[in-house]
Amino acid sequence: MLELVVWCAVGAVVARAFLWVCAAAREVLHQLWVTRDIPGPPSYPLVGSFLAVAGPQEELYEKLVALRRQLGPTVKLWLGPVLVIIVSRPRDLELVFTDPRLQAKPWLMYASSLEPCLGAGLITMSGADYRRHRRIIAPSFAQDVLHSFAPAFNANARRLSERLAELAETGEVFDASPLSRMCTSYTVCETVLSADSSRLEEDREAVVKAVYRGVTLMFHRGIRPWYRSDLLFRLSKNYHDYQEMVRIGDTFVSKVLDLKMEAQQQTETARQEEEAEAAAAPSKSRRNKAFLDHLLSSEEGKTLTKEELSGELKHLVAASNSTTSDTLSFFMYCIAIRQDVQDKIVEELDSVFEGDRDREVGLADLPKLKYLERTFKETLRCFAPAPIYARQPDSDVKLPSGVTLPKGCVVVVSPHFTHKDPDVWPDPAEFDPDRFLPENSRGRHPHSFIPFSAGTRSCVGQRFVMMFLKTAAATVLRRFRLETPPGGPQSVADIRAIFSLTLHVQGGAQIRARRRE
């Protein structure tokens, strides 16, 4: 009898495995057939077109750009049995961003590579859980919450300025990227995490380092499918660094949450005192009640468990830090090369601030800094810091260009493909902020410019980014001129980028600062 039960169990397992293999094979055959006309690099048994993108990390970005150049706006890649389709035409993208069949994130690129480190959160989730979390988180980035960040934006811009003053004094050439990272991380701590700086000071430096290292390590693990297995990853020389980074992130976020929850349990008297203080000094009260406070005090926010909150905070820290600091680094590098663009920014700043170099950047100043905003947009066009993101169709979807995205494939969007398309952006290698003048944007498809993705899964932080970056630039450029040293790149097109989870300046943004007369 026992023998019969064992045989039945084994039979059931084998039958299930067989059905699974048949279903997978059917899906692959269907994908092969449906995408037979999409161009792609040569594909070989087992490895597919892996050889076209394999090699050192420094070369991956250039390889993808070359694929776009050789093969056109829609490219197919077989990575082993996984079909990847890169889509870049704006009309196709419109459907990718808005069609309900394309809202899921592929497990292979998101949950399996990011969740071991960050836990679940907006970036990796799909389905009903995702919609619930987005409904809870998005309102915490509302205009009034963002406005309450202005003092932190100014304080950290000033901190960056002080550091530049020291470097200007010596005249030395320095890499702007670590400075951008420090300025961004402090800002994110004080705004998104609403962290009480004084109680987290000692951890923060470690977190700044861990975030940057973390992005590199998550990418390192993410593009090597065999490292999905913890057992194999333990053999990697990066395993200990990775674990240390996870530990630093977990400890920091847990400490932030504990401090917040402790603050929430203040006695009624203390709260009343705080409210009275807030009534007397509204700007201070708004500063205290920033993003996380807002989230924790909203009715829906209270429904998130500590684990869910911790995951979301780690996602926000990961999503905001590198992308924003990379943009600031590329921006500084671009205007150091393009002195004519920098001159125009300074002209605008002199007019808006009436020559005052020390006044804080007020909320009313930001909309007036139109040329500065165009320069940031042009920086994001040339060096979109989120170089790829992806979706997975839950059924076949036909795009306006006629291409069919088969169910289960990985649809990759790379802003670089779209932003460098000469049919969309004439002379795409030229750095020209005036492309974004209203008269020059007329007739351009809204999905031609996609650094923040678009549609239902677009970046929740894009208004935060522009406010912060404009404040930082307006503070720094009123005081300093940024220059490249002799022998540095002659044009923006000479800047080399390195591809990780985000896009960094290869070799660092080597510049010099000079105090303005």
Residues of this chain that interact with ligand HEM (CB under 6 A) are: 122-123, 134, 192, 315-316, 319-320, 323-324, 327, 385-386, 389, 451-453, 457, 459-461, 464-465
- Smallest distance from the beta carbon of 166 to ligand HEM, in angstroms? 27
**Gap between the Cα atoms of 175 and 116, Å rounded:** 32
Smaller CB separation from ligand HEM, 238 or 456? 456
Smaller CB separation from ligand HEM, 328 or 492? 328
Smaller CB separation from ligand HEM, 186 or 452? 452
Six token digits for residue 116: 């071991």
Six token digits for residue 139: 């309102």
Picking from 332, 327, 360, the residue whose alpha carbon sits closest to that of residue 471 is 360
- Smallest distance from the beta carbon of 108 to ligand HEM, in angstroms? 13
- Smallest distance from the beta carbon of 204 to ligand HEM, in angstroms? 17
Task: Enumerate residues 6+ apart whose C-beta is below 8 A from 491.
Answer: 337, 431
- Smallest distance from the beta carbon of 53 to ligand HEM, in angstroms? 19
Smaller CB separation from ligand HEM, 40 or 451? 451
Smaller CB separation from ligand HEM, 31 or 327? 327
CB of 409 within 8 A of CB of 85? yes
Q: Per the annotation, does 459 bind a ligand?
A: yes
**Gap between the Cα atoms of 385 and 415, Å rounded:** 9
> What is the C-alpha radius of gyration for the chain, rounded to an integer number of angstroms?
25
Sequence-ordered strand ranges (E) for 61-141:
75-79, 82-87
3-state SS of 357-379 is CCCCCCCCCHHHCHHHHHHHHHH
Please give the C-alpha separations between residue 194 and each of 149, 161, 248, 317, in angstroms, as whole numbers.
Answer: 10, 23, 18, 12
DSSP three-state, residue 174: strand
Look up residue 427 and give its DSSP letter. S
Six token digits for residue 120: 């679940």
- Smallest distance from the beta carbon of 452 to ligand HEM, in angstroms? 5
- Smallest distance from the beta carbon of 114 to ligand HEM, in angstroms? 10
Smaller CB separation from ligand HEM, 52 or 411? 411
**Gap between the Cα atoms of 448 and 133, Å rounded:** 28
Q: Which residues are annotated as a binding site for heme?
A: 459
